A and B are shown apart, each in its own frame.
Chain A
Amino acid sequence: MLRLSLRRRRQLLPYLFLVPGLLWLIIFFLIPLLNQAYVSLQSGDSELGYSFTWNFSTYSDAISNYHEQFLRSLRFAGIATIIDLIIAFPLAYFIAFKAGRWRNFMLLLIVLPFFTSYLVRTVSWQLILSDNGWVVSRFRDVGLVSENGRLLATDTAVIAGIAYNFLPFMALPLYVSLEKIDRRLIEAATDLYASRVTAFRKVTLPLALPGIFAGSLLTFIPAVGDFINAALLGTPNQFMIGNVIQSKFLNILDYPAAAALSFMLMGVILVGIAIYARLLGTRSLTEAAAA
């Protein structure tokens, strides 16, 4: 046992607390990440194996072959995030300000779908949107879907699936930041002759920004890499970059291309977050982390 003075131990203690988390990050994030970088620069084929050759062309090939799926992933995830924001904001607002004693119950309702498997939830959308299902025939009656049209296996289905599956990730951070708002600030605003709309715009919304930021990230990031919704509710015309990566890893055994694609996906997301953080102001980035 090392003998250290009490003061020294006091100093070291906080770092000791970091160790489990740090180890976790190193073993399950940093090492795989480095390994992935290493794999992405290999060349060879699935039958004879791959060897490290500084083969950067994997990256350019990946861009030229799969930019379409990349852009589609960003588009689908972006639209789904906006839809979630539009749905979740009033919802979270209502729960935070108006739900009263129903608050916990409503929060439970938001979380409830998580009690079933992600896959089962998505597959049930196959049933709901099925060509001969009730939803499609009602949509046909109203003329939203053409006589021979369909919902399943379209962009709409995939985006709706993503929006549905990630809604709680938007709603919960929004609720947390709205709930934290000091009501007296809003009262003060109205006392100073702000209309309710102005009070909302000048007080509530800015204070909710960290929640909006956190919610958008929590929704957008996993949505960009999602492949379940496209695979189950879409066709190859809806496939996202996640579909490509998983098939490269598991079916085609083209590990370098899969690793390169994963890396680029990560890069794109990081750049996206940086821009987004800049737009919303960096202060809210740390606030978001706190939320």
Chain B
Amino acid sequence: MPNEDIDGIVERMLDGSEHSRRQFIRHLAAAGLLVGPGSAFLAACGGVKGEKASTQVSTTATHAKTSIGNWTFSNWPLYIDKSVLKSFDKKFGGHVKYVEDINDNFEFFGKVRQQLQADKPIGRDIVVLTDYMAARWVRDGYVTAIDKNNVPNAKNLVPELANIQYDPKRNFTLPWQSGAIGIGYDPRKTGRKLNSIQDFFDPKFKGRVSFLQEPYDSAGMVMLLQGVDATHANIDQINKAIDKIEQAQKAGQIRRFTGNDYTTDLTKGNLWVAMAYSGDIAGLQADNPNLEFVYPKEGSMIFTDNMMIPAKAAHPYAAETMMNYVYDPKVAAKLAAYIYYLSPVQGAEEIIQKTDPKLAANPLLFPTEEIRKGFHPYPTLSPADEREMEERMAQVTGA
């Protein structure tokens, strides 16, 4: 596991109980602690100037029903109940090679960019990438259209995700899971209930606050505080939000910028208030009931990780069969109960209500209609704006 995050490795070494934790470790590499930049470095060797994909990929596709064969599914670590893979193999035949090799959107892109630009297959039939990276793949034509006839269950997609800026008809992408960004905190330390993004800036918590390193998350949240519609924000508004974060960082308010490695510091009490992913805290509460997660009153940014079929994939039909399978509410319920993030599949909640009513009542997994109204997906930025934002944020986080 050369590209695993330190906390992941340590956790494995110390207790080896990754599966019991049920805590999906997202954005591992965002913690910035990868060892061995070999692959990324090799990717840099080519130096071939890629041509912008001027020819838009076909938005429709027909993939004949064939046997499933041996195909490959790339996903983030701890992001699936593996029994689902076994039952898939059993039901449809063939064999899915499931690899947990996506630790960070950019790092993964760095690994496969050269093949994609050379129009070569990347040896994977499904990849799961977060909105902004999915947008990039769609924009640059690195994807294969989904044959919707092979994915009838896609009708179960929750309506608020059915239409997204970079792929308005979901021709290329299908959500895997979503997650909300909110406030993870320990009320015993803060001494009061928190409910506002402003609480991150409360001087009483100086040096005990963490922000997420990803600007889509942290600048997005600050924009919500500043009254900006973050989903349709422009680069000036984003820069303004990052300015505010920089100010807080310089004042010593912010202790760390994290991927999801804030969890360790939060449970140990080094952090009192963490900008957190809903699914992480849902997992942590199992061990540490004192921790709380709130959706701030100003709203929450939400990210969606999307299944996509990379360009030139060898087994598109197998990929579509899997997409269809996980959009069966029964399977989706099984996944939701394992992953603890927000399921994009309608009907999953109803099934969990029957099997595990307590879990179904957990707003971290199944937020109320009112909370959902405050959800803001990431903005879709032009490549230049995205680069400006990432670079500006990197200056603030000191990396």
Contact = CB atoms under 8 A, between A and B. Distances in A.
Nearest to B252: A237
A164 interface: no
B374 interface: no
Given A47-B136, A130-B270, A232-B6, A65 B395 contact: yes
A51 B394 contact: no
Contacts of B33: 228, 231-232
Contact of A253 (B51, B109, B255): B109
A85 B196 CA distance: 50
Interface residues of B, number: 57
A81 interface: no
A252 interface: yes
B79 interface: no
Nearest to A237: B398
B13 interface: yes
Interface in B347-399: 383, 387, 390-391, 394-399
Nearest to B32: A247
Interface string B94-134: 00000000001011011001100100000000000000000
Contacts of A252: 106, 390-391, 394
A94 interface: no
A246 B37 contact: yes
Contacts of A60: none
B158 interface: no
Q: Which of A123, A244, A250 has the most CB of B within 10 A?
A: A250
Interface in B257-271: 257, 264-265, 268-270
Interface string B221-248: 0000000000000000000000000000
Given A46-B106, A236-B396, A120 B50 contact: no
Contact of A236 (B14, B383, B398): B398
Contact of B44 (A236, A244, A259): A259
A232 B255 CA distance: 12
A236 B399 contact: yes
Contacts of B1: none
Given A130-B268, A246-B37, A48 B32 contact: no
B397 A49 contact: no
B64 interface: no
B152 interface: no
28 contacts: A32-B41, A35-B45, A36-B41, A39-B41, A46-B110, A47-B50, A48-B50, A48-B51, A51-B47, A117-B9, A123-B7, A126-B268, A126-B270, A130-B268, A132-B268, A132-B269, A152-B270, A228-B33, A231-B31, A231-B33, A235-B255, A237-B252, A244-B398, A247-B394, A251-B104, A253-B110, A255-B44, A259-B44
Interface of A: 32, 35-36, 38-39, 42, 44-52, 65, 69, 117, 119-120, 123, 126-127, 130-132, 150, 152-153, 228, 231-232, 235-237, 239, 243-244, 246-253, 255, 258-259
Given A35-B45, A65-B395, A252-B391, 12 more contacts: A32-B41, A46-B113, A48-B383, A50-B47, A69-B398, A117-B13, A126-B268, A150-B270, A235-B256, A252-B394, A253-B107, A255-B41
List the 9 closest pairs (A to B, CB-CB), nearest first: A236-B398, A255-B44, A247-B399, A51-B49, A239-B398, A49-B50, A249-B37, A48-B50, A132-B269
